[in-house]
Amino acid sequence: MNTTLHNFHIPVMGTGHSIDSPIRVAHLGISSAISVVDDMLCEKIRKHYCSEFNLPYTNIPKSAADGRAERITGYLNLVANIVSQKFEKLKQLPLYCNSEKDRYFNLLPESSPLKSAYKFIGSLTDSAERQQQIDELTSKMLPGSIDVNIMAKVDALGLGSDGRPMSAEFSDASAALRGYANSKLNSSLVLSAGFNPRLYGYLAEFKDFYRDAEGTIKKRLILKVSDFRSALIQGKFLAKKGLEVSEFRIESGLNCGGHAFASDGHLMPVLLREFREKRDELPGTFMPMIRSYYESKGKHLPELAEEEMRPKITVQGGIGTHGEMQRLLKDFEMDATGWGSPFLLVPEATCVDEFTSKLLANAAEKDLYLSNVSPLGVPFNNIRGSGSEIHTRELIEKGKPGSKCPKGHLASNTEFTENPICTASAQYQLLKINQIKMNSELTDEQKETQANRVMKKTCLCTNLGTGSLIRLGIMKPSYGRQEICPGPNIAWFNREYTLDEMTDHIYGRRESLVPEERPHMFAKELTMYVDYLEMMMNQSENEDSGLRKFEKMRRNLEDGMAVCLEIADSDPYMDENLKSLNSAVINQRKRLNMLFETYSVAVYL
């Protein structure tokens, strides 16, 4: 099992905002995740860092036969080399003289054995013993993991030189997987955004995902899941191929950054409780399948300690205080937590341009919303006033909506064309708007509403990486178009922070960075789900089938609210606003009653 030093990690954020996070923080022992959706962005960032670190650079052209995979491998190998170089330099530094090496240990949680040893050695007076202990402590230092995220369902088939779709191994997700598998990284692959059997089957082609003779897995698997059932189904699929899941990463369906994959009203406390109660089922189910696979292939599976067979369970989505993290680690027995959006305001950790950083710092709750800008057709967490929003509005005003679609990673629509195109492309939007205009059954008002909905789709492939290019000086700020996808939690963080400030906030070692009135993460999630249910009701046709679906969500929300009230009645952890949780349940129950009264009347009129 991979050993991590911290109780938190920095999850993937967009295509560009965490793309160089390992270069920034891995030498200090902090793990983070890179998105490799945009291989051309990876190539530009590789060129930049080769120049910065005086390393040789050879361009991998867009026309290369396996260019996508090669660009991803090239970038990941560069990141591995830079992190190794920075980490080895850090290890050579002296201790107890306020060096970066001291910072490494000071950032660790108080529960860390390495930190305890660091404090003990600092009290020693015998110089020989002190140096011996320092050398031993240095040998135990580890860099943060350089993890890589692939959106499993973002898996477009590219076109060959003949204009026809290429074979399956050249699909976007498969090529990205191959790029990671061929890299020198010893880290984890995070698979998110759904179950892709073809991609999961392709994992079996690469030996680094299996245990070697010593029982070590060089490249581990992390699955981002919405519930226990999903974890069990996906884990069993992989186990039949001898593949182990090292970590299941639970994320809130709505209270998160990026795309929001809403559940049927299953709130986080209910999901976490189920994982806590059933987690031993996971290795008990998977390991017999894994052993059977190794035996069928004539391979030796080394004897493993129970702890090595047990996948970690971690959680992310809306965590904002030390107390909330303690609730997750202690009451729900999570192994670690993911802190995403707050790190967008930590320039030492993420790659955000100045314009967008100020926008985030000044954002209020009203500025953060679930949008329909994603070509995937999935709700997308957004912020008002972004460079991308401004650019999209300018195109509409000029009568030239849509993108030229230079990358095509989200091209999936075949409504008008044989080969898939993107709904954010100018090609699709012009065709769709013309179809709407020609529809004689629609009123002028309905036509305008539908056309506006079409034109709101944004080129995420390009715009999510623009801010990182501007921050690194690769692109001029005047280009604009920056898209960013923070979770609503960012509203309570109101300036830029140092890495030390944010880490101390996470571990409760300083005055909280957020005000006391910030609602509990569970309270915010509950409110967001009722907001989402109201939106769905407003968009429905007032049918019986809709009512049944909404009633199911309501029952699930009621189950979640019951658990929330149990938590609200418990003793709070440090900086944990449990009063807001109790208030949220009372207020959202009233809202639900009103919503269903109104909807039921409309159905039966």
- The enclosing H or E element of 103 equals helix 100-107
Residue 3's pLDDT is: 65
pLDDT (tens digit per residue) in 9-65 = 999 999 999 999 999 999 999 999 999 999 999 999 999 999 999 999 999 998 898
pLDDT (tens digit per residue) in 442-482 = 999 999 999 999 999 999 989 999 999 999 999 999 998 99
Amino acid (one-letter) located at 173: A
Residue 94's pLDDT is: 95
Q: Minimal CA–CA distance to 468: which of 344, 318, 341, 385?
A: 344
Q: What are phi and psi of 240, to 5 degrees?
A: -65, -20
Would you list the DSSP string of 81-96?
Answer: HHHHHHHHHHHTS-SS
Q: Spell out the alpha helix ranges (H) of 182-339.
A: 197-202, 228-239, 268-278, 281-296, 306-309, 322-326
Q: Looking at residues 214-227, what average pLDDT do you find?
A: 94
Residue 164's pLDDT is: 67
Q: Looking at residues 264-276, what average pLDDT do you find?
A: 96
- Listed in sequence order, the residues at least 6 apart from 593 whose beta carbon sits closer than 8 Å to its beta carbon are none
What's the whole-model pTM score? 0.93
Residues of the chain with pLDDT > 70, as a percent, come to: 97
pLDDT (tens digit per residue) in 127-181 = 999 999 999 999 999 999 999 999 987 777 766 666 666 677 778 889 999 999 9
Phi-psi label, residue 14: left if phi above 0, alpha if psi -120 to 50, beta otherwise: left
Q: Minimal CA–CA distance to 185: which of 106, 297, 73?
A: 73
Q: Minimal CA–CA distance to 330: which of 522, 584, 571, 9?
A: 571
Count CB-CB contacts under 10 A for residue 318: 27
Residue 161's pLDDT is: 64
User: CA dihedral defined by 322, 323, 325, 326, rounded to 10 degrees?
Assistant: 120
How many Å apart are CA 444 and CA 453, to the nearest integer?
A: 14
The domain spans of the chain are 1-188, 346-508
126-154 in b/e form (b: 16+ CB < 10 A) is: eeeebeebbeebeeebebbbbbbbbbbbb
425-444 in b/e form (b: 16+ CB < 10 A) is: bbbbbebbbeebeeeeeeee
Please give the biggest Cα pair distance in the chain: 90
More confident residue, 405 or 517: 517
Range scoring the smallest mean pLDDT among 155-159, 180-184, 206-210, 267-271 = 155-159
pLDDT tops 50 at residue 605: no
